[in-house]
Amino acid sequence: MDALAHLDGEIATAKRLGRYRTYLNLERRAGTASRAIWHSGEGEREIVVWCSNDYLAMSGHPAVVGAVTEAVRTVGLGTGGPRSISGTSVYHHALEAELASFHGKPRALLFSTGFGANEAALSVLGKKLPGLVVFSDELNHASIIHGIKSGGARKRIFRHNDVGHLRRLLAEDGPEVPKLVVFESLYSMEGDFSPAAEIVAAAEEAGALTYLDEVHAVGVYGATGSGYAEELGLSDRITVIMAGFGKGLGGSGGYIAGPEAVVDAVRSFATSFVFSTSLAAPVVAGALASVRHVRRDPTQREAVRARSAQLKAALRERGIPLVSADSHVVPVLVGDPHLCKRVSEHLLTDHGYYVQPVNAPTVPEGTERLRVTPTSRHTADDVTAFAHALDQVWSDLALPRA
């Protein structure tokens, strides 16, 4: 087999199916989010970004920028190795203590990425708990799926947000079988919340541990911004909470918070943690500043939720179909990969709005969509103008209305 020709063929197939990914060359400006400079082959152009996960615009917040700048000046950029060699700093200790307090857990542990946090924690639980059965929502993130597979535990898939199905699966294994229920609070491609209280109750009745991914909810929900579990009063009933800094907290990296035994086992046995260079100290310093700000100031989460509600109302008024209207994430249903790309292209070139198309295999075929994310820095006028532009593109392409 001509290996390189085979790879070329795979890429050609992805393009034919509308699944080939393209990436805009953007220059984000801390002081002017959600605006950015698009560097294209035709020159530079200012655009408005409508698909950023930086929900609270914390990446450019003065408190975060100041903390990162001060840490770079004080300790430099990197950490010099993994946590076990020289990669643990006063910043790492301070942030882990802050996160444990944030979620009301005994201990927390940092990772270089959110993907790495899920992979490390779930693989260790699968390997170190003999006979473990993992019950996983069918729409759980790829990092969760990868972590469960790496751990080698038996896996049972329950239908998305179907608590009745979960209960039936849990009942098929006796009380002596160790069980772990893994789910997300907010499914970012659907924009919908999980029935978290019902899932936790089902897990408790079956004697199962719970593992909740709060990546897309941290910062935006809860009285202090620690996530959807806090908003529902469930934090103390969930065994392990996983989240990260790349969304509402505006940085990068991930973490888990939970019991001493779980966190210490992951710290001790997760290969990807033990052998990975730790997060750069200035990045950790920025994350610490972000968490502290979010805990005491609800202004930005109130703003993003208000802008999201305004956008959903405007799109409903125009008959633009939504996958879900649950959360601050607003997925607009197109249903065809090539049309989805065309909507995105028209918004960008004709109106200066960037929304990345989301096609299969990220979402099922026939459910291709635009994942629109208002942020705390979008204004009410921004929302009105974007809704008008999307409405015009919808008409130009003769797409079906809700």
How far is it, in rounded angstroms, from Cα 372 to Cα 354? 9
pLDDT band at 121 (very low <50, low <70, confident <90, very high): very high
Is a pLDDT exceeding 80 seen at residue 401?
A: yes
How many percent of the chain have pLDDT more than 70?
Answer: 100
Single out the catalytic residue among 179, 247, 312, 341: 247
pLDDT, position 296: 98
Question: What is the predicted pLDDT for the residue at 165?
Answer: 98
pTM of the model: 0.96
**pLDDT band per the 50, 70, 90 thresholds, residue 256:** very high
Residues 6+ apart with CB under 8 A from 110: 92, 95, 96, 99, 253, 254, 255, 278, 279, 284
Q: What is the pLDDT of residue 286?
A: 98
Tell me the average pLDDT of the chain: 97
- Residue 273 contacts residue 111 (beta carbons within 8 Å): yes
pLDDT band for position 78 (cuts 50, 70, 90): confident
> Is the pLDDT score of 125 beyond 90?
yes
pLDDT tens by residue, 173-216 = 999 999 999 999 999 999 999 999 999 999 999 999 999 999 99
Q: How confident is the model at residue 38 (pLDDT cuts 50, 70, 90)?
A: very high
Quick one: pLDDT at residue 169? Answer: 98
Q: Can you tell me the mean pLDDT for 310-337?
A: 98
52-70 confidence digits (pLDDT tens) = 999 999 999 999 999 999 9
Q: Say if residues 316 and 332 touch (Cβ distance below 8 Å).
A: no
Amino acid letter, residue 190 = E
Task: Please write the tens of the pLDDT for every residue from 329-368.
Answer: 999 999 999 999 999 999 999 999 999 999 999 999 999 9
Q: Catalytic residue at 247?
A: yes
Q: Is 271:255 a contact under the CB 8 Å cutoff?
A: no
Report the distance separating Cα 344 and Cα 73, nearest Å: 41
With beta carbons less than 8 A apart as the criterion, state whether 214 and 227 touch. yes
Residue 1 has a pLDDT of 73
Q: Helix/strand/coil (H, E, C) string of 297-324? A: CCHHHHHHHHHHHHHHHHHHHCCCCECC
